[in-house]
A and B are shown apart, each in its own frame.
Chain A
Amino acid sequence: MTVTVRIPTALRKLTADQDRVPADGGSLSECIDSLEASYLGLKERLCDEAGEIRRFVNIYVNGEDVRFLQGLASPLKDGDEVSIVPAVAGG
């Protein structure tokens, strides 16, 4: 499955300033591994040492928070849009 991943400003230095990148995988977990293979260091920004999604980063599949879907096991299909949305505190 090929999906499009939306990269937030804060992580674009890892993706050569690209705001959207392609990734592969039948699940979100596979998608993140695919991202890590292309953009070293991205996974640790999304997942903690235990492999779980960090609590201050949200990941959405087609606009739905994966915490309310199946987390890292959330299935992906061709054309899905995965959005990475970190909490931002500036004001």
Chain B
Amino acid sequence: MTVTVYIPAPFRRLTGNCTYVEGHGQTVAELLDELKTRYPALGDMLQNEAGELPTHIHIYVNNQEIHSLQGKATPLNDGDEVAVIPAIAGGQDLTPEQTLRYSRQIMIPQVGSAGQRKLLDAKVLIVGAGGLGSPAAVYLAAAGVGTLGIVDSDELELSNLQRQILHHTADVGRPKVDSAQETIARYNPDVRVIPHRVRLTSANAMEIIAQYDMVVGAVDNFVTRYLLNDACYLAGKPYIDGGVFLFEGQATVFIPGRGCYRCLFPAPPPAELAPSPSQVGLLGVLPGVIGVIEAVEALKLILGLGESLAGRLLIFDALAMEFRQVSTRRDPHCPLCGDAPTIHELGDYEASPSSPLAGHHEA
């Protein structure tokens, strides 16, 4: 039988820098013997002193770990894909369970076990455990982001369940951070959840944000959105923003120094022009789409992969089923991150005339 063997980055120097090599054998054991013959140095990595497969090396046949099949006796068929995945990165081992749990993404060459280690070491703050925060938290947790902070001061209401998939019917009346913590633990016990059962304010934002690498904004109002924008910029943390209204959603990423929410929208609309979803309704799956996009952006930032949404505003129109994007940029006149900034610390965001939201009433 002829199979394709995926060689992970750490081992490629042992196979002439080939990512994929051809292999032969009726079983995994025969394949390993054949690989050892052709690539002796690789062979040394694939057996311990007793000649057995080391516990930190995992072999997958068509994406299934061989211990869940027939071990080294697992039969091979022509065209099978075999992957050799070591569970070592930066001197810190992934446990065999972690290697299996995250195997689908560890197999991705751009992620690997080193990328998985980055995810496990990452600390992401999600502000809001509602429609956007729920899907973002679930996917980040499932991917093994090691520390998730969740900020939410609310208790769950029955009408939240139409979209807020972190919570369940029995949780109605409970603090959302509590049900969020329990749900995430059921998805992935690797994840440390830090509940912040508070409303984000000027008094607590800097202290909370300082504990994390980046922030996923999942808030449902403009006051908190501007506060969060300012706090992230002042703290030097990437801010992934998402918003939804009726059938439309927006997502973008703000990297400090490359523009902020104030550069994009200098002032929020007056309240009468900015009805909340509780007043006008919201298709529940819409924040699902946008929250998942925010999670993708967080994972990309952690892994250092691809092109982030920094410099672009992604617009999703569910009715047309269309994604569009427009350019965003740093505004030299921005009061926060412009050339002559006037905002140097968090102020009063509610309504005071001296508020950083003073523009609110000019608009």
Residues on A facing B (Cβ under 8 Å): 6, 8-10, 19, 48, 54-58, 60, 63-65, 67-68, 83, 85-91
Contacts and interface: CB of A to CB of B under 8 A. Distances in A.
Nearest to B268: A56
A91 B265 contact: no
Given A6-B324, A10-B246, A89 B222 contact: yes
Nearest to A8: B248
A63 B315 CA distance: 11
Given A48-B363, A63-B325, A90-B277, A56 B317 contact: no
Which among A8, A54, A56, A68 has the greatest number of chain B C-beta atoms within 10 A?
A: A56
Interface string B106-138: 000000000000000000000010111100000
B285 to A, nearest CB: 13
A19 B248 CA distance: 11
Contacts of A60: 326-327
A54 B363 contact: yes
Contacts of B328: 65
A87 B315 CA distance: 11
Given A19-B320, A55-B266, A56-B363, A89 B274 contact: yes
A56 to B, nearest CB: 4
Contact of A91 (B218, B247, B313, B315): B218
A32 B320 CA distance: 23
Nearest to A86: B269
B326 A90 contact: no
B269 A90 contact: no
B267 to A, nearest CB: 4
A6 B277 CA distance: 22
B362 A88 contact: no
Given A55-B362, A56-B363, 9 more contacts: A9-B245, A10-B245, A19-B317, A56-B274, A57-B269, A68-B331, A87-B269, A89-B274, A91-B217
A55 B358 CA distance: 12
Contacts of A56: 265-269, 273-274, 363
Interface string B308-338: 0000010101011000111111010000000
A64 B242 CA distance: 20
A65 B244 CA distance: 20
B31 interface: no
A87 B320 contact: no
B329 A91 contact: no
B32 interface: no
B287 A91 contact: yes
A47 B274 CA distance: 16
A62 B242 CA distance: 22
Interface in B132-148: 132-133
A91 B219 CA distance: 5
B247 A9 contact: yes
A88 B243 CA distance: 5
A90 B267 contact: no
A39 B277 CA distance: 25
Given A10-B245, A19-B317, A89 B324 contact: no
Contacts of A90: 131, 220, 243-245, 276-277, 282, 287
Which among A8, A60, A85, A89 has the greatest number of chain B C-beta atoms within 10 A?
A: A89
B23 interface: no
Contact of B133 (A48, A63, A68, A91): A91
B264 A58 contact: yes
13 contacts: A9-B245, A9-B247, A9-B319, A56-B269, A56-B274, A58-B264, A64-B327, A88-B245, A88-B250, A89-B219, A89-B222, A89-B268, A90-B245
B8 interface: no
B249 interface: yes
